[in-house]
């Protein structure tokens, strides 16, 4: 996933747990992994990460 250049100056210091891209501030795409909420950059990464977790 490529980052949105309009949000490039407003990004979370940690990358997306799934793909590693920057996570724009103000977004709340998270998945609980190993008991911890993990930030995702977009609903696509959130869906894939949730599917992986739900698969066991």
Q: What is the pLDDT of residue 6?
A: 42
Q: Is 18 within 8 Å of 40 (Cβ atoms)?
A: yes
> Per the structure, how many domains does the chain have?
1
Extract the tokens encoding 54: 């739900």
Does 5 reside within a domain?
no
Does 28 reside within a domain?
yes
| Average pLDDT by stretches of 10, the chain with 56 residues | 45 81 93 96 97 95
Does 24 reside within a domain?
yes
Q: What is the pTM of this model?
A: 0.73
Does 26 reside within a domain?
yes
How far from the centroid of its chain's Cα atoms is residue 51's Cα? 14
Does 2 reside within a domain?
no
Q: What is the pLDDT of residue 19?
A: 97
User: What element of type H or E holds 25?
Assistant: none
């Amino acid at each position: 996933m490529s980052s949105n250049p309009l949000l490039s100056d407003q990004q979370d210091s940690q990358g997306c747990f799934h793909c590693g891209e920057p996570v724009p501030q103000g977004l709340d795409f998270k998945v609980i992994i190993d008991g911890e909420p993990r930030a995702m950059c977009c609903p696509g990464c959130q869906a894939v990460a949730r599917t992986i977790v739900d698969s066991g």
